[in-house]
Amino acid sequence: MLITEIADKKNLLQVGSAGPKVKVLQEALIKSGQELPVYGPDGKFGAETKKAVEAFQEMVEIKVDGIVGPETAKELKWYAYPNFKKAEFKCKCGGRYCNGYPVEVDEKLLYLLQKIRDHFDEPVIINSGIRCKKHNQAVGGASRSQHLYGTAADIVVKDVSASRVYTVANKINPKGGVGRYKTYTHIDSRDGRARW
């Protein structure tokens, strides 16, 4: 289960909630450095989990209410994929056209990138992650490029050829997009298979 799937606007996790989603939440909280000293990840949202959620919300500077909705889940996801940081996906227009984050990075993309990272056990360098519309135009991106939606990354794996990265990306991402280039590989988490 993806972290961003544990809650949405209509289904919040809060005191009284219970089940596998709460367990995923608790495990993510622990990864983010919060503590559940008495109950641990027991799948039950009680006072201890609320306290940990509040501490997390305070840490990432979002509204502190002890309730988990989409905002909290979006921030939590960055702690589930230890080798990737939000800043690595920032739009490279350098602040000319956007604040760097015109869209959210899709968690499915992070999941795929972490798989590639784990496969090669080498750092994955993000050449291009999110792009705002103007920056995408400036770099000659396709008009409906997945980079506009936070679902794509152009990557290089340290000491691994682009063709080897393509082969692995092709295998692990049967339902999304993979593009072959001389010096890097494009991978995206769109709904639908695409290859070039």
Residues 6+ apart with CB under 8 A from 147: 128, 129, 130, 131, 136, 141, 154
**Binding flag, residue 130, Zn ion (CB under 5 A):** no
Strand 177-180 vs strand 124-128: parallel, antiparallel, or unpaired?
A: unpaired
Site string for Zn ion, 86-115 (x = CB under 5 A): -----x-x---xx-----------------
CB of 151 to Zn ion, least distance (A): 10
CB of 140 to Zn ion, least distance (A): 11
How far is residue 37 CA from its own chain's centroid?
27
Between 67 and 152, whose beta carbon lies closer to Zn ion? Answer: 152
Distance separating alpha carbons of residues 17 and 23, to the nearest angstrom: 10
Q: Which stretch binds Zn ion (CB under 5 A): 26-34, 59-67, 131-139, 167-175?
A: 131-139
Task: Assess contact for 134 and 93: CB atoms under 8 A.
Answer: yes
Of 45, 154, 156, 189, the one binding Zn ion (CB under 5 A) is 154
**Binding flag, residue 132, Zn ion (CB under 5 A):** yes
Distance separating alpha carbons of residues 81 and 113, to the nearest angstrom: 9
- Positions in the binding site for Zn ion (CB under 5 A): 91, 93, 97-98, 132, 135, 152, 154, 186
